[in-house]
């Protein structure tokens, strides 16, 4: 059967959604924090770059960055950024330029603000999630069109900030849980530490923990795919840097691999 341009675009859309969803899914964690919370495994200036592939075909890259600390409503906050872009070849099929900005208090106890800009072909979103901890509510809007506020669980993180919170944890614990919100709902995310494993990514060998997030709260291609899985390998050192993300869904196998790491804390 001939693969149509529409099918290729849909697969690419699912793949890029997978990259963001993987971070959402792994974000749960109420496990024990490291003893010295001041000695964070990341700092402003850190930049992690990943190659993105569908099966063995390169489609683009994703970048995770920690920008300088900012002050929002008198709260000092970390500023995390994730971008996803297609390469020049796939730009012709389905051009993608996505960016997520997430802010959390410097004590890493909860989210402060979450923003998402999606430019995927003709599909566009400009999402802002304002978080009010005095009311324990989150207000979602897309191009200034507001939804009804939702109630928050204590200590909830947005999908991107929660990924950085996960890096603070002792991953020897078998199950990680934490409230997560995207502004539309607030759920308790859950992920299981499967095992410690040595893997090779590119020319580098890493001592890692393999983590598998629970997918029951995840919508879209994961919800529609029977036996869908996400696997995430993070380094077993204090940094807990993600080096590989792999998922198998109805439209194929997707892989993100770390290709460069800059501005590491130690």
Instruction: Give 203's Cβ-side CA count (13 Å radius).
Output: 1
Question: What pLDDT is attached to residue 125?
Answer: 95
Q: Where are the domains of the chain?
A: 5-258
Looking at 60-69, 75-84, 156-165, 201-210, which range is the least confident one? 156-165
Cα–Cα distance for residue pair 16/19, rounded to 1 Å? 5
Tell me the pTM. Answer: 0.85
Q: Could you read off the pLDDT of 33-71 as tens digits, one per residue? A: 443 444 799 999 999 999 999 878 898 999 999 999 999
Model pLDDT, residue 213: 82
């Amino acid at each position: 059967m001939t693969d149509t341009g529409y099918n290729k675009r849909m697969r690419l859309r699912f793949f890029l959604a997978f990259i963001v969803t993987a971070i959402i899914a792994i974000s749960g964690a109420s496990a024990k924090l490291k003893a010295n919370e001041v000695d964070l495994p990341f700092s402003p200036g850190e930049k992690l770059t990943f190659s993105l592939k569908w099966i063995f075909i390169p489609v683009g890259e994703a970048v995770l960055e920690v920008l300088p600390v900012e002050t929002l409503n008198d709260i000092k906050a970390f500023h995390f950024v994730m971008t996803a872009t297609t390469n020049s070849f796939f730009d012709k099929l389905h051009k993608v330029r996505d960016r997520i900005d997430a802010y959390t208090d410097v004590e890493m106890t909860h989210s402060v603000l979450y923003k998402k800009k999606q430019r995927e072909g003709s599909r566009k979103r400009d999402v802002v999630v304002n978080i009010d901890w005095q009311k324990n509510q989150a207000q979602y809007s897309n191009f200034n069109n507001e939804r009804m506020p939702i109630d928050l669980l204590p200590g909830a993180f947005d999908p991107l900030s929660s990924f950085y919170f996960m890096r603070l944890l002792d991953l020897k614990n078998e199950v990680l849980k934490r409230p997560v919100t995207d502004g539309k709902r607030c759920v308790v995310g859950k992920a299981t530490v499967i095992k410690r494993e040595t893997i090779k990514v590119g020319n580098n060998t890493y001592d890692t923990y393999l983590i598998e997030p629970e997918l029951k709260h995840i919508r879209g291609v994961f919800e529609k795919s029977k036996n869908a899985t996400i696997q995430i390998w993070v380094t077993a050192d204090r940094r807990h840097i993600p080096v590989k993300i792999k998922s198998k869904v109805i439209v194929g196998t997707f892989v993100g691999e770390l290709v460069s790491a800059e501005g590491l804390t130690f």
